[in-house]
Structure 1
Amino acid sequence: MATPLDRPLGPLVRLWGLTTAQLPPTNAGPAEIAPFVTALLRESIPFTDSISPKDGRQPSASGWVQKPKKTYPESAAPVEVFERVVSPSSLEEIISREKVARPEKLTPETWACRRSVHVDAATTGSASWAEFIRCYKEAHREAEDAFTPEVVASRDAASWDCGDLEVEIDGEVWSELQMTVCEVRHKIAPAGLLNDRVFGVLMLSAALKGADEFVVLSVSINDLATSPLGSLAKEKGAVFGAYTSVERVRKVGDGIEWIMATASDAKGVLPVWVQAKAVTGLIAKDVPMFLGWVAKERAKAEEERVVFLRNMP
């Protein structure tokens, strides 16, 4: 029997991205944006489940190939890395089935993925559930701006009022929805040799009702540089790149499972095949960067608390 894990790949959560014309009006109410949000989650949730299915059953053909694990001093947990290539023929099938516009150049879509399981504790080498909620669900862009050295600027370009909207996906109810368009400017190593990259994405977060689980979906907005919504994308000295990602954080037993998968194209002179070789290592480093940063933030907060107590009359 077919399950959501065996559902054909969809047209929305793709590297070819969305256009601003496909977005709901920013003054649309929760009921008006519900079909759009539902379509995005209906594609992204089974995609993350194909990496680590909740029921332990692997789909008939997940396509994920595991690479050697990575370890870092800042993380008590190892980081598993995977790769999945969506072939041009599979993308052609999506285009034909869904009647979507064909990109000018159709190349293999390479997805890099990482998975790690952390102790639910605000301690060195790990992070608590509350810290994951605060930094990844409630303030995702702001947190990544703070702990990622390559980020030189970021902003929200648009947002929607999701209100108390809840959507049902395969029998599960998702709530606490937040949706924005974000722009981020990155430095690209080696410094001075390559132009900065600006990425524009539609970011959607949602929490599974009645469970400790949330997802964050980022889909490339491919015409932001020519849209009134764009700002960083219009600055001189930057190349407009693209990435689409899906992220899931959930409690499993005594730990917290953290999954992120992305397909990206930095554009410019960098060949896609060169980028693909580097991306798995780059996204794995997000784990120690976040855990190292959050440990420093804890220490800073504790120091401020001690100073406050000392100065109390």
Structure 2
Amino acid sequence: MSLIQLQPHPFTSIPAHPSFSTDLSRPELHHYISTALHEALELLHSVPSTFTTDPKLRPSPPSQAKVKLLRGWRKPSEPRASIKGRVKDKSEFWVCRQSEHVDASSTGTASWREFEAGLRSEHAEHEMEYTPSVSAVQRLLEWAVEDIGEIEVDGIRFRDASMEVNLITHTFHPSALIAPRSFISLTISAAYNNFPPQPSQTLEEHRQGFLTVQIPLHPEASSTPQALHQRIYASVPKRAIFANYASIERVELIPATHFADQHSVEQQYRSQSRIEWTMATTSDAGGSIPQWVQRSWALGGVPRAVVADVGLFIGWTMRRRQGA
């Protein structure tokens, strides 16, 4: 069964943690993270050939970069059992966005260090700062970084890997009409650096970057440790609906290309280092919101929301820079 899928996983399916009772059937931590990173790389590799690209780039002010939007349907690797045991074999609707930003601490863009500080460190907490709907983030579990170590996946050596579980709540207005949504997200983040390049490959093929994977979990009492179950339900707002999403986020630094002469606009642009930001997600808000509404750009669904996130992050980064 895929780890990266919309159907949430039970807490019994994740690696052991000091707060859990001993259970030898749980997956080994290193293997679990390796599997998630492999699935993430595989999905990102498949996007260009399996997703449909929107005909026009989308603006996301105050970001100077335009956003490429792609959409596609994807089936999990195996039929999935639902929480109540019924088998589901349903395709998932995925949205992917890609944007390329000049590596600079200037208006409308951000530097590599700012991307790292904002999207890799304290990912969920920072998301709450720049996303208006995120009203609460609570860290439920965290694994020690030293227990993970370096991981090699598909020829890429990942370092500084981390794993945590967060309870994330979104609230909307008017709150009397739209119930809050709470998500339980297992988040894996890891950095990589493919330098120095091999003689047979170009400089641009050897980028440094980081990957963040979010996997949905569900809080069913039968599969959630009792103390954790009580903590979750004590933390969510009244009327909250548990919803789900899975996502993959990759941020890479593209080295500057050096030209003997810089005559064209494209050459001038490529003579600067750039940051390529890719994010793919599938989600279900639950409740009575129809799936076709959630998929709609015109009705403010997921495609519009993921494009808006680019401008929200860049705007937040610019404000942080001014306040530093």
Fold shared, TM-score > 0.5 on shorter chain: yes
Conserved in 2, the CA contact under 8 Å of 1:188 and 1:195? yes
- Of the three residues 9, 13, 22, the one matched with 1:22 is 13
Conserved in 1, the CA contact under 8 Å of 2:241 and 2:286? yes
RMSD: 2.2
Amino acid at match of 1:264: S
- Of the three residues 232, 236, 239, the one matched with 1:237 is 239
Q: Deviations over 1:82-140 (max 9, x none)?
A: 10112xxx44x623xxxx63563543310011100000011110011101111111111
Structure 2 residue matching 1:50: 3-state secondary structure: helix
2:45 corresponding residue in structure 1: 49
* 2:73 is equivalent to residue 85 of structure 1: yes
* Structure 1 unmatched ranges of 5 or more: 1-9, 52-57, 302-313
* 2:62 is equivalent to residue 74 of structure 1: yes
- Post-superposition shift, 1:156? 0.8
Alpha-carbon spacing, 1:222–1:128, altered in 2? closer, same or farther (3 Å): same
C-alpha distance in 2 between matches for 1:190 and 1:66: 33
Structure 2 residue matching 1:72: 3-state secondary structure: coil
Q: Deviations over 1:279-308 (max 9, x none)?
A: 11111100000111111111111xxxxxxx
* 2:78 is equivalent to residue 94 of structure 1: yes
2:281 corresponding residue in structure 1: 262
- Post-superposition shift, 1:48? 1.7
C-alpha distance in 2 between matches for 1:73 and 1:218: 26
TM-score scaled by structure 2? 0.78
C-alpha distance in 2 between matches for 1:188 and 1:113: 24
1:222 corresponding residue in structure 2: 218
- Post-superposition shift, 1:172? 1.4
- Post-superposition shift, 1:189? 4.5
- Post-superposition shift, 1:187? 1.4
The residue correspondences of 1:1-313 to structure 2 (distance < 5 A) are 11-27=2-18, 32-51=28-47, 62-67=49-54, 68-86=56-74, 90-91=75-76, 94-95=78-79, 101=81, 104=86, 105-163=88-146, 165-210=149-194, 211-223=207-219, 227=224, 228-230=227-229, 231-234=231-234, 235=236, 236-253=238-255, 254-277=273-296, 278-301=301-324
Conserved in 1, the CA contact under 8 Å of 2:245 and 2:281? yes
Alpha-carbon spacing, 1:250–1:101, altered in 2? closer, same or farther (3 Å): same
Conserved in 2, the CA contact under 8 Å of 1:199 and 1:220? yes
Aligned residue pairs: how many? 273
Conserved in 1, the CA contact under 8 Å of 2:118 and 2:317? no
Alpha-carbon spacing, 1:78–1:269, altered in 2? closer, same or farther (3 Å): same
Amino acid at match of 2:81: A
TM-score scaled by structure 1? 0.81
Q: Deviations over 1:233-280 (max 9, x none)?
A: 553220000000000000123100000110000100111121122111
Conserved in 1, the CA contact under 8 Å of 2:215 and 2:246? yes
